[in-house]
Amino acid sequence: MSFGQARVSPVRRVVVDTDTGIDDAHTLLYLAGRPDAEIVAITSVYGNCVVDDAVRNIGYVTRLLGLDVPIALGAAGPLEGSPNIASYVHGKDGLGDRGYLRPVPDLAAESSAELLVTLADEAPGELDLLALGPLTNLGLALRIDPDLLLKYRSVVLMGGSGPYAEPGVLRMIDANIDNDPAAARLVFAAPRNELVSVGVNVTAGTILDEQAIGALRAAGTPVARFAVEILDSYLDFYQNEWGRRIIPLHDPLAAGVLLDPGYATGWIDGPVNVVGDGFTSRARLMRTSDGLPPAFPYERTPDTRVLTSVDAPRFVQDFVKTLS
């Protein structure tokens, strides 16, 4: 990727690993609408909903888009412990409980982890991997092939919390990492070509506000209509945070950065560790808010490119235009 400036290059061939909730569905719509992206395959994982619903939701969205790609069934829970399913955010079915008919799509014979390995072996250096959920499938795939990430042109994660925040500042929960810290440790320690963390430190401020939601509603196309229909439970959740019916574009921003690194206006390359405080786990760049190493020993992992700022208004404009 060429960070810091808009990219003009061939179409990105993207493998999407997703726990298909509301913003994941929005991300698939966005990727399908971008002329510089081709969705090659979609692998499912638990997280925003149980994995069986994630697969059904992938099928529903791909049918809406007329998209025929391999779909794989992935992990139902983390490498260690039990899953934390975010039905209180995305609805029990992951798409806001709108009552959509969601038959199970035709599934690949391989699991999500196995398909991630197969695709990388078949086209080394040609594919980009976009991980939108807990990193369990990637952790399982790395157990099969420890050099997996070297075979993808780039890997972009919606996950991480950036560097340590300024004293007194709290971050939104780093849910994808918290759901499987063991798998996340495997990913951040693995050799790679390029690993990019688009974390809650930048996604939380990339807001689809009332005006943008109104523009989607006014578009009236099948894609835009679906994108607005599934928003209610998401808006219900975030109104308790901000007192307004607005949402952060967590997963879509990660896709936007993959396709156009110019959306990133600040980043730091450095080691990321997965650390816990007894309540939640986060993937943190091992730097304080003033750029210094933390005041405790940490693991020297390969450098991850950690975003620290983004051009949120430009991305939101592109997102609305693409879905409209």
Tens digits of residue pLDDT in 201-253: 999 999 999 999 999 999 999 999 999 999 998 999 999 999 999 999 999 99
pTM flag (> 0.75): yes
Q: Which string of b and e fits 251-270 if b means at least 16 CB within 10 Å? A: bbbbbbbbbbbbbbeebbeb
For residue 247, give the nearest of 17, 23, 9 by alpha carbon: 23
Instruction: Give dist(CA 203, CA 177) in Å, integer.
Output: 15
What DSSP designation does 243 have? S
- One of 250, 284, 287, 305 is an active-site residue; which one? 250
Whole-number pLDDT of residue 234: 92
Q: Which amino acid is at 231?
A: L
For residue 9, is pLDDT > 60?
A: no
Q: Which helix (H) or strand (E) holds 155?
A: strand 154-158
Q: Which helix (H) or strand (E) holds 37?
A: strand 37-44
Query: In this structure, what are the phi and psi dihedrals at residue 89, rounded to the nearest 5 degrees?
Result: -105, -50
Whole-number pLDDT of residue 8: 46
| Domain residue spans of the chain | 12-323
CATH class of 12-323: alpha beta
Pairing state of beta strands 207-208 and 247-248? Answer: antiparallel
26 tagged catalytic:
no
For residue 4, is pLDDT > 90?
A: no
CA torsion angle 120 125 128 134 (round to 10): 50
Instruction: Quote the tokens at residue 48.
Output: 């925003």
DSSP string, 80-111: SS-----HHHH-TTSS-S-----PPPP--SS-
pLDDT tens-digit map of 81-121: 999 999 999 999 999 999 999 999 999 999 999 999 999 99
DSSP string, 112-149: HHHHHHHHHHHSTTTEEEEE-S-THHHHHHHHH-TTGG
For residue 38, give the nearest of 15, 58, 20 by alpha carbon: 15
